């Protein structure tokens, strides 16, 4: 084993002191792999817990290449993951740090499970809430924190006191407080309610307690502070304590080529720990699907499960659920229709008495068309009606009077047919003969 402090042997990597295009500092590589931060990596190296190609490192001033084997406590570091960025709605009363010596709750205690090792982009005070960016790439976090990036950060502040509109407008020129100069601040009054007011502020530097110090210099006491945006990334409707990952394509478009080059972001590496593309809160993490076993499943009766037969049965059940016909109920008297049953012919129903008929229209009976009544016309196309047969005159009949007819059967009943067998048409109402005028 090589002695400590000596440069370890290389396998295609850069020698200590040389810097190649693909090489980087050992602390940066450990931070990208999610082992620790850069400061913690230096402490690991000083403790002799880091090996490169089997040699123990004693100084963090060492560059490694993509072909070097790096171990921490004898375990190889994981593969470098793709650069990722998460949006987190930080609640109030949470400290923005990895570990708090006072034992207070940190932002990493509020994160759901299944996330890679993350670091914060900047910080928020313990009582400040709102948008906080998290990333797994230390180079990207460092670039986004710099004021030279020029990203605007917007806040909404609830203040107590009297708001001076001229003093707010003067913040666009910057302000010096206790020997510290704060750059231009965009400030606007949203609304006032009694002695309280809501303000919207935009700044680009992000110094420690910048908003509270500036508004305090104007005689305003900040009672609530919410960060609503960080550059192009908005808080929107993200709930308190929820985390949302940005898609890789969206992240590349928002960063641009310059920031990607300055940060050294890697969008070609794989994702080792996928995260759902929706807001997730701690305690509501999605459950991982159960792994499928290669052994065949045995159903009831000792039958081996056939996947093809199972899929066909599932398809038939799905088609049955789409049927709109009502299934037969228990005790239903109606017989089920079968495809081999012949359709029974039902006789035509006769006309009922409540059918409306036009004036002059009469129904057709079994004996054919009936004779029209007085004042009615014969149906078109029926031809001339048969001539009426006159009954023979009887003795003693008065002159000018119609011969008497002998009615058979019950009064109002049908007239019996003659002996010849010919059916006579029914007699209608006879028209009385016109009277001759009397001569004076």
Q: Taking a C-beta distance cutoff of 8 angstroms, is the pair 382, 394 a contact?
A: no
Q: Taking a C-beta distance cutoff of 8 angstroms, is the pair 34, 28 a contact?
A: no
Closest to 379 in 3D by CA, of 387, 367, 368, 390? 368
Tokens of 65: 């290449």
Distance CA 183, CA 172 (A): 8
Residues in the chain: 440
Closest to 26 in 3D by CA, of 44, 11, 10, 9? 44
Catalytic, 190? Answer no
Tokens of 209: 């307690």
Write b or e for each residue in 52-74: b if 16 or more Cβ atoms lie within 10 A of its Cβ, otherwise e: bbebbbeebebbbbeebebebee
In 36-157, alpha helices (H): 38-46, 138-145
Tokens of 379: 């149906």
Identify the active-site residue in 125, 137, 221, 340: 125
Distance CA 419, CA 161 (A): 126
Q: Taking a C-beta distance cutoff of 8 angstroms, is the pair 254, 231 a contact?
A: yes
Tokens of 178: 């206790």
Beta bridge partners of 52: 55, 70
Catalytic residue ranges: 125
């Amino acid at each position: 084993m090589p002695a400590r402090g000596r440069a370890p042997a290389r396998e295609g990597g850069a020698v200590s002191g040389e810097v190649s295009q693909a090489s980087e500092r050992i602390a940066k590589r450990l931070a990208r792999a999610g082992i620790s931060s850069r400061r913690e990596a230096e402490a690991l190296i000083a403790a002799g817990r880091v090996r490169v190609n089997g040699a123990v490192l004693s100084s963090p001033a060492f560059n490694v290449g993509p072909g070097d084997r790096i171990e921490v406590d004898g375990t190889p570091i994981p593969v470098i993951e793709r650069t990722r960025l998460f949006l987190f709605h930080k609640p109030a009363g949470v400290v923005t740090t990895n570990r708090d010596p006072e034992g207070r709750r940190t932002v990493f205690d509020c994160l759901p499970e299944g996330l890679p090792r993350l670091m914060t982009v900047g910080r928020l005070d313990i009582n400040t809430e709102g948008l906080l960016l998290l990333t797994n790439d230390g180079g990207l976090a460092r670039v986004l924190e710099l004021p030279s990036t020029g990203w605007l950060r917007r806040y909404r502040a609830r203040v107590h006191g009297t708001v001076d509109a001229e003093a707010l407008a003067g913040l666009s020129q910057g302000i010096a407080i206790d020997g510290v100069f704060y750059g231009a601040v965009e400030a606007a009054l949203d609304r006032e309610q009694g002695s309280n007011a809501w303000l919207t502020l935009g700044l680009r530097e992000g110094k420690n307690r910048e908003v509270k110090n500036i508004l305090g210099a104007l005689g305003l006491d900040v009672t609530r502070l919410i960060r609503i945006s960080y550059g192009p990334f908005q808080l929107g409707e993200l709930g308190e304590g929820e985390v949302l990952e940005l898609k890789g394509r969206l992240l590349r478009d928002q960063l641009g080529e310059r920031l990607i080059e300055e940060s050294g972001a890697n969008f070609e590496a794989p994702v080792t720990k996928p995260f759902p593309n929706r807001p997730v809160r701690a305690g509501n993490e999605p459950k991982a699907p159960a792994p499928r076993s290669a052994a065949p499943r045995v159903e009831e009766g000792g039958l081996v499960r056939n996947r093809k037969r199972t899929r066909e049965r599932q398809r038939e059940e799905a088609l049955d659920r789409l049927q709109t016909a009502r299934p037969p109920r228990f005790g239903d008297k109606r017989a089920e229709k079968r495809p081999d049953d012949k359709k029974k012919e039902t006789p035509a129903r006769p006309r009922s008495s409540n059918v409306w008929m036009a004036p002059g229209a009469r129904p057709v009976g079994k004996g054919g068309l009936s004779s029209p009544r007085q004042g009615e016309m014969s149906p078109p196309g029926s031809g001339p009606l048969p001539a009426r047969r006159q009954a023979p005159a009887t003795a003693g009949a008065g002159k000018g009077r119609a011969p008497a007819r002998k009615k058979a059967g019950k009064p109002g009943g049908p007239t019996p047919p003659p002996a010849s067998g010919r059916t006579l048409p029914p007699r209608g109402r006879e028209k009385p003969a016109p009277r001759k005028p009397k001569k004076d």
